Amino acid sequence: MSPAEGPDRWAPPDLTGRVAVVTGASRGVGRGIAEVLGASGATVYVVARTLRAQGRSGIEDVVEAITGAGGLAYAAPCDVGDDKAVAALFERLSSEQGRVDILVNNAVGWGDVRAEGWEGVEDTMTYMVKPAWEMPAGWWDANFRVGVRSHYIVTKAAVPLMMKDDSGGVVLFTSERRPETPGMQELVLDLRASAVERLALLWSLHLRPRGIASILLYPGFTRTEGIEESFATGGSYFDGWTEERFLSETASIYYSGRATAVLAADPLLMERTGSVLTAAEVAREYGFTDVSGAQPDPE
């Protein structure tokens, strides 16, 4: 247990009437964002490829969590790496809602590593400690197809619905934090983080005249299902880590969700378009905590 824990300081903002789309929302950071937006009153479209029938938790579970808590959510199965599927998703949104107010580009391609059966790959966290020359070319393809290109395609499809009633909105990108000084960090993930940071900035320049904000949010090291599994099974990235260190240097999946909700509700958000923020910075500024009551600042 982290010594910084205390009372949970969180009051959901009022996002009633807002329509939110969250990609990569079946697990991890995306799930946390979707659930917090739903608890704040937004109508949430839970977008991901993973269905419960595939043998693990899926978008139906997230929808049930939101609706079970009194919110409104819809399952939206979609591979955001498939342009036709993305177009169909936003045709559906146009028909059912006629607008989009909050878009969260959270999907990443890490899961494709296991799905494509790359030899010797059991835990994607192992790539964090491997030299660049040992990476398969597919590691690049998986991360840039879903995680960079998909962010562009999804945003491109969403923007016309965000301009429908001139009420503005926010496009939010999530990514790993790009180190200020290059070191021995994983090469592909560093390049992807750099690309997403630039993408968020460029979208802000294009969308500013339309009153739509574009923000990059770094969740920081988060206890996603995959991260928790890697730690529990002794993944090589966590060699020498104690449970106390693991809990103190990571955040829950809801920390970024809370940051997303307060940013989306801020009437002055356009003043920050093009910004690069961390969930921890947003927590300190708006005065909320993680679910533990702590305000972690994970890398």
Section 74-82 average pLDDT: 96
Range in 5-9, 64-68, 206-210, 279-283 the model is least confident about: 5-9
Non-local (6+) Cβ contacts of 195 within 8 A are 144, 148
Section 78-99 average pLDDT: 97
Non-local (6+) Cβ contacts of 97 within 8 A are 19, 43, 161
- Kindly indicate the confidence band of residue 1, based on its pLDDT and cuts at 50, 70 and 90: very low
Q: Hey, where are the domains in the chain?
A: 19-286
pLDDT in tens, 213-229: 999 999 988 998 878 88
Higher-confidence residue of 235 and 275: namely 275
Question: What's the pLDDT score for residue 150?
Answer: 96
Question: What's the pLDDT score for residue 196?
Answer: 95
Quote the tokens at residue 230: 């890697």
pLDDT in tens, 110-162: 666 554 545 544 456 666 667 788 777 788 888 899 999 999 999 999 999 99
Quote the tokens at residue 90: 């936003």
Mean of the per-residue pLDDT values of the chain: 88
Section 67-77 average pLDDT: 97
The model carries a pTM of: 0.91
- Kindly indicate the confidence band of residue 95, based on its pLDDT and cuts at 50, 70 and 90: very high
CATH of domain 19-286: 3.40.50.720
